[in-house]
Each structure stands twice: as structure tokens, then as C-alpha cells.
Structure 1
Amino acid sequence: MTDLSLFELRPPPLQFGGAASTSDPKSGLDSAGPFDLRFGSARKDSIYVGAIGPANIVDGAHKWLTRCSTGIPSFGPPTSLRRPFPGFSEVFRKKLVFSDHLTVALDNAVADPIANALAGTDAFQRFQTIVDLYDAALRRLAGRDVNRPDVVLVCLPQNVLDKCKTVERQNTAAERERAKAIRKARASRQTDFFDLLDEVEESEDDFLKRDLRHALKAKALAARLPIQIVTPRLLEDGPKTEDPATRAWNFSVGLYYKAGGVPWRLNPPGPEACFVGISFHHHRTKQRHVVQSSLAQAFSSEGEGFAIRGTGVPAEADQRLNVHLSEDQAFDLGERIIAEYASRTGRSPLRLVIHKTSQFDAAEIRGFRAALGDIPILSLVTMVPSAFRLVRFGMYPPKVGTICTVNGTRTFLYTSGYISEIETYPGPHIPQPFEVRAIGPEDSLAAATDIFNLTRMNWNTADIRGKWPVTLSFARRVGGILNEYGEQDPEETSFRYFV
């Protein structure tokens, strides 16, 4: 006989600048302001916003900033899902400062380098030329002693998106043969697989696929100047875009965080904790295919976020999704997590939780336990999308935060479903739960509670409809940015550069 146990987690209470505590970011920001109001005199009263791009779209971005500054009503009667945007200063208690002095225009009456770049016939060359144009402008702003912006709007016109959003090609037969020969040569000298990461006989090792957003974010990471991508979809009203108030909410929260702000924070339920997501991404070039352990995406219970790149894992033909770190790699990554956390907070956490979407094997468990043996509470948590489904009486699916345990041994968590704060289920399909498994002193219920709470910690949007915890929600994006950055570890690891 199957024994089912059901209960619902309460939406996580978020902390804001005032005494109000609510699970809805928009409501909390509107009534109590951002969390960093508690920092008092250490908090600046203005955000300086730079802009890069063609003059016409930069002008559109400035008009959008003016619109966000003054407030935007909702279309039709206000609802829990569509709330009017009161204005940036009203919500965040900071003024947006933007002007021509903080702007680099990429065209003028005499020259249009973007048009010239897009006229080229080689897709990869077009892509690189566009990246170089924006990178040079970004470095100009980042190198200033005065009038240096806190965050930069990188304005991309539609023609750039149409021709350069992504570029991709396959290896030629000659390149495949060369890569095969390189692998054989390395093996015959009994060198490590990761020696393939070095340049080989001065030959090119170009990417086979590139993403414009990732490339620009990598340049911002190198310049240590956060950016916000701006496209016509953000600036223009129309049937294919969200309503202006919703766009203003999401844009403003992301801008505020990237400029150094703390919009809200979880109410820490227990000892000081560090939550870590470990994910893998593919790194393909002409000569190599490595599955890179892209991160620890780590977040303290105080909201501090950072990213650390791990070492590479060879790509095997039959590997599929079954990717694991070696014991040494897990040990090294664990030590680096603690070192980075301590450098940011001045101490080690009392509790550390690691999230992964594949099972921890014996080598990974040994490595993490050896590196993190001084942490009082260490939990290794796997969350896997499941075919398990619940059908709820009525017209809506189960609420977010619903937990079902089967025979006391298997735990399923819904992070998508009916959301009480907006009084509806906003998804098009039957929601899919995660199966949650935990290794360590804490049970799967505690692990599921952490996961649910961390779905509300995406500071790149005011939307509460996040399915993944913030430890894993940006895994693919962060991996792509680090690929573009290069093989050296970046000096800056703050998560505000990756979202």
C-alpha cells in the first residue's frame, strides 16, 4: 500500500527596508523600500547610469529611464499580477542620474561602424566586430576617474540582434581530424586531458557557438562595470511585449541590484548559511570538447552572491547528463567556496547546502566532506525534475510550496503551480515538481524548504514566478559568460555581473 503525505509550505517572508515582511517583492518594495535602507549613511542616494549604443536607441533608453523615474500606471484595473510602477525614486529611495556625459554613442552623422560591421559576409567576424565596438566603449566608461557610471545600459538595435544574437557552425572535416590527432598526441605523451586547454602549435581554437549577451557580459566582467542589456522589446509598447508597468518593475529591480543595491533578503530561519549550486556546461571549440564544472553559484543567507568556476571534466561520447566531479575536483571546489565566502563576510558559514541536478557519487561526497569538514552542518541536495504529478480538486493545480512524501522515503516539491499572491496559476502546462534528495544531517523536508525559499531570491526581476532556486537558475548563462571570459579566473566574482 502506498502512503502519501501532503502539506503546503508558507510563502517565504522577505525582508525589506521597513518593518513590513511579505513574500511578494513588488508589495514589499512599494510599502517598505529596499532592504539596504537599513544600511543608513553607508547607502548612496543616487545611481549613475551610463549608456552605449547607436544614438537613436540610446535616446530611447533615456526616455525609458525618464518614464521609470516618473511612474507608470497599469493597463486596466490593477491586479496582484499587474501592479502600477510608482516610480524608481518612490520605490528604491534613490535617484537615477543619466546624461550625455555618461553616454558613448556608436554612430554619428559621419560614420556608422555598426552598419559597416553588419555589412560583412562572415558571421563570426560580424559578431566579433560588434563585441569589440561595445567593449571599447565600455572600457572608456570604466576607465574614468570622474563621471564613472555605477551600471551601463548596453543598447542593442534590432539589426544587431537579427544578425549577431548567436552564431554557430560545425567543425570542418579537417578540424575534426586535427582535434583527433591532437588528442592522440597528448595521450602518447601521457599528458593530462586538460593540457588540451593550452594552445597547440599556435593553431586557432575558436568557439563553435557564441552568444552576444554572454560575450558582452564577459567584457563587462573584465571591465568590472556591470551592464544591463537594453533591446527594442524593452523600450517599445506593443502587443508582443509585457505591459509597461511590469517591464518597469523587472527592469528597475535588475538595475538596482547591478548598481550595488540589495532589493530584499530572506528572513534567515537558522544559523548563518551558504547556499551553493553546482552545474556543468559544455565548452566546445575547434580542438576540444570539455564539460566544465561551471560553478559554485553561491549565496549567503545575507544575500551576498558570487560565482566560482571549477575545473574541466572530459566530455565522453556516452556521457549524456551523468556528469560528476572527481574527488580532487570536489575538494578543490569546496575549498574555493569557503575561501571566497570568508573573503566576503570575514568568516565561514555555520551551514552549507550544495544543490545539484544529478546524484552525488561517492567521489564527490568524499571530496566535499574533506574540504568542508569544519562546517558544522553540510547538506548535499539533489533536485531532479520528475514525472510525478498531483491533481488538485478544482480548476487550479497544486500551490507552489506543496510537498508530497511517498512512503516516507521520496519527497516531491512544487515550485510552480497556483500562486496565492497573484491568485492564479500563470503557466500554460501542468506544473512539474522536483524530486528532492538530501545527504547529510538534514532531511528532505528542510532541503525542500530551502529550495522553495531560494526561488524568491532572483534579483534580476520583480516576478515571483521562478521555478528554479537562484543557486541553479542562471547556470547556463554563467557558464557561457565564463567561456567567453577565457581560461583565467576573473578578478571579480560578484553575481551582479552574471545576471
Structure 2
Amino acid sequence: MILGLRQETIRIEQKAVRLINAGAPFYIYSDRQTSRNPLPPLKGIHIYGPYDNQTSSEPLKRAFKGIEIIGLCPEGEKRVENSLVGLLELLEGGYTGGVAFGDLKTEFRLERVYIPTSSDEIIKYKVGRLEEELREIKALYEEALRRGNIPVAVVGGTAHKSFSKRREQYLEAKRLLLREEVPVQYASYYEVESGGYGILYQIDQKRDVSYSLWNFSLNIYTKAGGLPWIVRQRNEQPLDLSIGIRFSRMPNRYAVGHAVVLDSFGRLVGTITLSKFYTVGMKIPRKEMKAFVSKVLEVSLKDPKIAKIYESGKDTLNVVFYRPNLFHPEEILGVKDALEDVKSSVVDVDEVKVGFIGVIQEPTFFLLDEEKEQKNVRVGTCVAINENTAIVSTTGSFQEGGQEREKSMSYPIIVCCQNLGKEDSPFTDLKEVCKHVIDLAGLHWQTIFPGLVRLPSALEFAQDVAQMYAKGISPPENSWLQRTLWFI
């Protein structure tokens, strides 16, 4: 049987079909963590704080001591302004709703936090003319850096990135502030006839904002460059670099390559964008693929924290590349060309192993567990459909403190390791591939809820970068923001 998936066809081999229990990712918030049961982010951060605050690993330690918030909102939007002030007061003073939130400083173990909590401290701007306020914003940004703090702009508004109406307000804030190297967290007050969306709407309606406040704070922390948790790799050969690649389709048949790189701990190494090139069809020509991957590997392997790995005499480089759909043979050759160049000129290793993992994300079918009342499968449930391809549940129910936490049914993804078991592959069996995909999905530092993110994070993040680039949103090349999660 052949499974047809738009641009791809994958053969289902009846003799290969089997259930694989790859298990769920294990979140780690501290080197001294004692709990043997997986802790979801909300509990883990509340108990231990973010991982980079107290780790004994020098390369993973947090590089900043404090965060300063710069508040902005459109002129004349009084409900937005009042709700934004209310939000900032909660970040400053904490919240005692359904789930306790101490405050931004306490929960994320920061030494210094400055948060404006009055309307007078909020910068008002005219929508479409935010550029007029950039001088004042830039001055606040530079003052924060001089004090050794990371500035983050919190922008209130009536747009919501999920809706096309008024989206330009959201895009303007992202585009202009990122251009000035100011990380941005947007706070939405989006109202419709039947209700509304966004944390500011919830505050205005006096709803419980416990979980939204935790998510909002987590986004601020990661945009400042923080590392809230890691996931230990469970494979015999840990991957040194996990690289998600996506391409923005530009006018006149041009494309731009984007890569997001995570290291063996799950730390974000950075985002890399290649200049545009001409392409026809859905494949990336070998020459362009080589140029793109060469730049990605060169930047990654020269990262000081990565370089230290090889100073101790490590002689094998293990890399995995993720892309949507399958790699074209010409693209694979381009990657291998780049690896040969890197092996001889950038890093001194005896061997390079590389995995090519194509991910089909289109919602195709459910996996159901008939033994459970709600039928929803647990994160880590996988089904092999041929020797190198599996249906993988990166989302679903999960264990918390020994108890099952149910989630609504969600679509699995299809994962194919195109060179599984080959001499040049770091993966020897399909279960290893499934484990790595699931662990990588657990490194999406945008939500406190485990079991919600379908794609492995390097690919999910690369998709975000590509979508923003197509809208004219990206930080300057070589900006410090490229080593943070500016795009979430």
C-alpha cells in the first residue's frame, strides 16, 4: 500500500507495521533535580527556577542578571492601555488565581527586574507611525544594556497574529523593533462579536489568567535569551547539532533558506538566513544547498560553546537535518558536499555522521487508544509503517506525577529517516529516530504545557523564522537576537 501525501508518496509495508513506545521527553530544570517523575514546565520552573540560572555547566549558564520591560501601546486605545498596565502589575506583583504566579523576578530567579506599572510610563504611539518613537525606545534599550539587563518591549494592541484583521499593527511592532535589535512580546486585546482573544482581553474581562501569565512570562524570558529547561537525549549516540531548515518563497522564483540550530543539550545556538537564490520546483539545487549548509555549519561550529566540545578530543560529529516533506537526492548531495568541506576546514574530526529526517505535518489521521476512555494516545506512541518511517505522536496525553493528564485528540506527524541504518547515519533503528523527534518537540520553550507541540522544535522554529522573513521581519545580520528566540 502507498500513502499519498500531496507532494510525497510513502510506502506502507505490512510486515513492518508495529507499535513503538518511544516514551515522553524528560524535562530537566536543575542539575540537582530529584524527582523521578516528569515535571511539566509550570511546576519545574516554580520549584527549581530556569535551568540556566543554577546549572554547573559553564557553557549553559545565564549571561544576564536582569530584565527591563519597555511598555508600548497605541494612542486612544484606553481599554488596551488599562489592561496592559494591569498585566504589567501582575508581572511585578504576582497573581493568586487558579495557579499561583509569584512574579517575574521570583519565578525566573532574576536579580533585577524593572517593570513600568503606570500609564505615564507607557509609550503611546500612533499605529502606522511607530517609527516616530524609536529614538526614545532605543535610548531606554541602551540604558538597560548599560545596567547589565536585557530590555524587552511589551507591546499592547488590538491585533492578533492568528487573524488577518488588524494584523499590520502586530507586524509593524515586530518589524521595526526587531530592526533596532529590541526583542518584542506582543500582548493582544482582540475582540469579536462572540468574545475575544489574548491576555489583555482576559484581564479586562477579569478572567483567570494564571496559565496565560505563565506562558507570557516564559516568552519574555526566552526572548531575553534565557534557557528555561533542557531535555537529555536518550539515544546511544547523542546528536551534537539538530538543524531545522525551511525556505521562504519570494517573488520571481526566488527562495531564501533559514536554519535553526540546537546543540546536544537543546540550547539554541542560533538562527541563520542565507541570501536569496533562484529555484525551480520544490527542490533546492545541490550548489545552493551546499552553500546554505556550509554557512549554517560554519556559524554553528564556531560558536564558543560548541567549539569547547571538540577541544576535549571528540573525533565524531553527529548532525541531524530536519525539513518538511522529504529531502530530494540533490539536496542530500549538497549537504554531504558541505559536510566534507567543514570536516577539512572548520572542525578537526575523523568522522561525520548525518541524519536526514523528513517530516510530513499535514493533518492526515488520528491515532486512537481503544483501551482508554478518552481514546487519546500518550505522547511517545509511534507506529512503524516501513523500515525507516513512523507515525509519531509528539502531542497527546502525558504522565504528570504518576497520573495521566489527558489532552484533546491531536494529529500525529509522519517521520522518515531517509538514511536510517546506513554507515553515515547516526541512527541505527527507527525507535532511536522516534525518541529524538519526541525529545526535540519537548524543547519548544513557548508554552508551559507539555504535549502540545507537533513538530520537532528546530523545524517548528525554522518555520516561524521563514514566515516572519516573508513579512519583512528579521533582526539585523549578526545581531545578538539571532541567538535568542526572537521569533516566537
Could you say whether these structures have the same fold, taking a TM-score greater than 0.5 normalized by the shorter chain as the test? yes
Is contact 1:151-1:259 (8 Å) kept?
Answer: yes
Amino acid paired to 2:187: V
Work out which of the residue numbers 329, 343, 354 in structure 2 matches 1:378.
354
Is contact 2:130-2:172 (8 Å) kept?
Answer: yes
Amino acid paired to 2:367: L
In the alignment, does 2:423 pair up with 1:460? no
Question: Which sections of structure 1, spanning at least 5 residues, go unmatched?
Answer: 76-82, 108-112, 118-128, 169-209
- Residue deviations 1:348-374 (CA, integer Å, cap 9, x gap): 782211001121112111111111133
Matches within 5 A, 1:232-311: 232=189, 233-237=198-202, 243-269=208-234, 270-271=237-238, 273-284=240-251, 288=252, 290-293=254-257, 295-302=258-265, 303-311=267-275
Q: Pick closer, same or farther for the CA change 1:416–1:296 going to 2, 3 Å.
A: same
* Mean CA deviation greater in 212-221 or 412-421: 212-221
Q: Pick closer, same or farther for the CA change 1:100–1:446 going to 2, 3 Å.
A: same
Q: CA deviation at 1:290?
A: 3.0
Is contact 1:135-1:216 (8 Å) kept?
Answer: no
- Residue deviations 1:227-278 (CA, integer Å, cap 9, x gap): 2112232234369998411011101111112223211112244446111111
Q: Pick closer, same or farther for the CA change 1:461–1:132 going to 2, 3 Å.
A: same
Q: TM-score, normalised by structure 2?
A: 0.75
Find the aligned partners of 1:163 and 1:256 in 2 and give their Cα distance. 20
- Residue deviations 1:449-498 (CA, integer Å, cap 9, x gap): 11111111122222221111111223443124334157974544223222
Find the aligned partners of 1:230 and 1:289 in 2 and give their Cα distance. 36
Find the aligned partners of 1:162 and 1:88 in 2 and give their Cα distance. 24
Aligned residue in 2 for 1:150: 150
Aligned residue in 2 for 1:339: 298
Which has the larger share of strand?
A: 2
Find the aligned partners of 1:103 and 1:275 in 2 and give their Cα distance. 45
Amino acid paired to 1:406: I
Aligned residue in 2 for 1:423: 404
Aligned residue in 1 for 2:184: 227
Q: Pick closer, same or farther for the CA change 1:358–1:156 going to 2, 3 Å.
A: same
Q: CA deviation at 1:314?
A: 4.3
Find the aligned partners of 1:296 and 1:45 in 2 and give their Cα distance. 29
Is contact 2:389-2:414 (8 Å) kept?
Answer: no
- Residue deviations 1:22-51 (CA, integer Å, cap 9, x gap): 352112112211111225797654322222
- Residue deviations 1:353-407 (CA, integer Å, cap 9, x gap): 1001121112111111111133622111111136354332132222111111135
**Percent identity between the two aligned chains:** 17
Q: Pick closer, same or farther for the CA change 1:423–1:239 going to 2, 3 Å.
A: farther
Q: Pick closer, same or farther for the CA change 1:453–1:243 going to 2, 3 Å.
A: farther
Find the aligned partners of 1:491 and 1:99 in 2 and give their Cα distance. 26
Aligned residue in 2 for 1:193: none
In the alignment, does 2:113 pair up with 1:96? yes
Is contact 2:31-2:55 (8 Å) kept?
Answer: no
Q: Pick closer, same or farther for the CA change 1:463–1:212 going to 2, 3 Å.
A: farther
Q: Pick closer, same or farther for the CA change 1:164–1:419 going to 2, 3 Å.
A: closer
Amino acid paired to 2:199: L
**Structure with max Cα Rg:** 1
Work out which of the residue numbers 25, 30, 35 in structure 2 matches 1:17.
30
Q: Across the two proteins, how many residue pairs are aligned to each other?
A: 421
- Residue deviations 1:161-212 (CA, integer Å, cap 9, x gap): 38998589xxxxxxxxxxxxxxxxxxxxxxxxxxxxxxxxxxxxxxxxx854
SS of aligned partner of 1:405: strand
Amino acid paired to 1:423: E
Q: Pick closer, same or farther for the CA change 1:437–1:214 going to 2, 3 Å.
A: farther
Q: CA deviation at 1:291?
A: 3.4
Work out which of the residue numbers 469, 472, 478 in structure 2 matches 1:482.
469
Q: TM-score, normalised by structure 1?
A: 0.73
Question: Which sections of structure 2, spanning at least 5 residues, go unmatched?
Answer: 1-13, 190-197, 311-315, 344-350
SS of aligned partner of 1:396: coil
- Residue deviations 1:94-114 (CA, integer Å, cap 9, x gap): 25322489987444xxxxx62
Q: Pick closer, same or farther for the CA change 1:54–1:357 going to 2, 3 Å.
A: closer
- Residue deviations 1:291-343 (CA, integer Å, cap 9, x gap): 332x1111112312311113435475xx4xxx221111111111111221123
Find the aligned partners of 1:27 and 1:331 in 2 and give their Cα distance. 43
Is contact 1:298-1:471 (8 Å) kept?
Answer: yes
Q: Pick closer, same or farther for the CA change 1:74–1:438 going to 2, 3 Å.
A: farther
Aligned residue in 2 for 1:354: 321
Is contact 2:365-2:411 (8 Å) kept?
Answer: no
Find the aligned partners of 2:114 and 2:475 in 1 and give their Cα distance. 36
- Residue deviations 1:106-127 (CA, integer Å, cap 9, x gap): 44xxxxx62xx5xxxxxxxxxx
Find the aligned partners of 1:382 and 1:307 in 2 and give their Cα distance. 20
In the alignment, does 2:378 pair up with 1:392? no
Amino acid paired to 2:382: I
SS of aligned partner of 1:450: helix
Find the aligned partners of 1:13 and 1:154 in 2 and give their Cα distance. 31
* Mean CA deviation greater in 473-482 or 23-32: 473-482
SS of aligned partner of 2:404: coil
Aligned residue in 2 for 1:34: 50
* Mean CA deviation greater in 360-369 or 222-231: 222-231
Is contact 1:298-1:305 (8 Å) kept?
Answer: yes
Q: CA RMSD in A?
A: 3.6
